[in-house]
Amino acid sequence: MSAASSRATLVIVTTASEEQAASIARALVGERLAACVNIVGPIRSIYRWQGEVQDDSEYLILIKTRTSLASKVERRVRQLHSYEVPEVIVLSIAAGSKPYLEWLLASTTSAPVRGAPKGRRKN
């Protein structure tokens, strides 16, 4: 495991709508709490809530951030989220492309980043 990968984390969150997912994504990236957020969906979620089995359409957001920012990301998601108990799952990134992970870490610092690595698209 590289030093960069051990400092990188993936946070998984589901939302009720694409608009809410985009709003959370924009806030996290704009506040430098995340380098990149992917929105996937719609997805189908079947789960138990308040004693009943639910079957809902949701959107999945994949948040790439620093491990040291994971708790701040969770707090911010909880502030912005409409669910009483939002799903927030934090996974360590064991390995990955060195240039990408360096960009991820640089993008989540307080200093502005000049740009993505060569060949890197917006997402």
Q: Is 27 exposed, middle or buried (0-12, 13-18, 19+ CB in 10 A)?
A: middle
Domains (ranges, CATH) in the chain? 3-107 (3.30.70.120)
What distance in Å separates the CA atoms of residue 60 and residue 18, rounded to the nearest whole number? 9
Residues 13, 80: Cα–Cα separation, whole Å:
12
pLDDT tens per residue across all 123 residues of the chain:
667 667 999 999 999 999 999 999 999 999 999 999 999 999 999 999 999 999 999 999 999 999 999 999 999 999 999 999 999 999 999 999 999 999 999 999 876 555 555 555 555
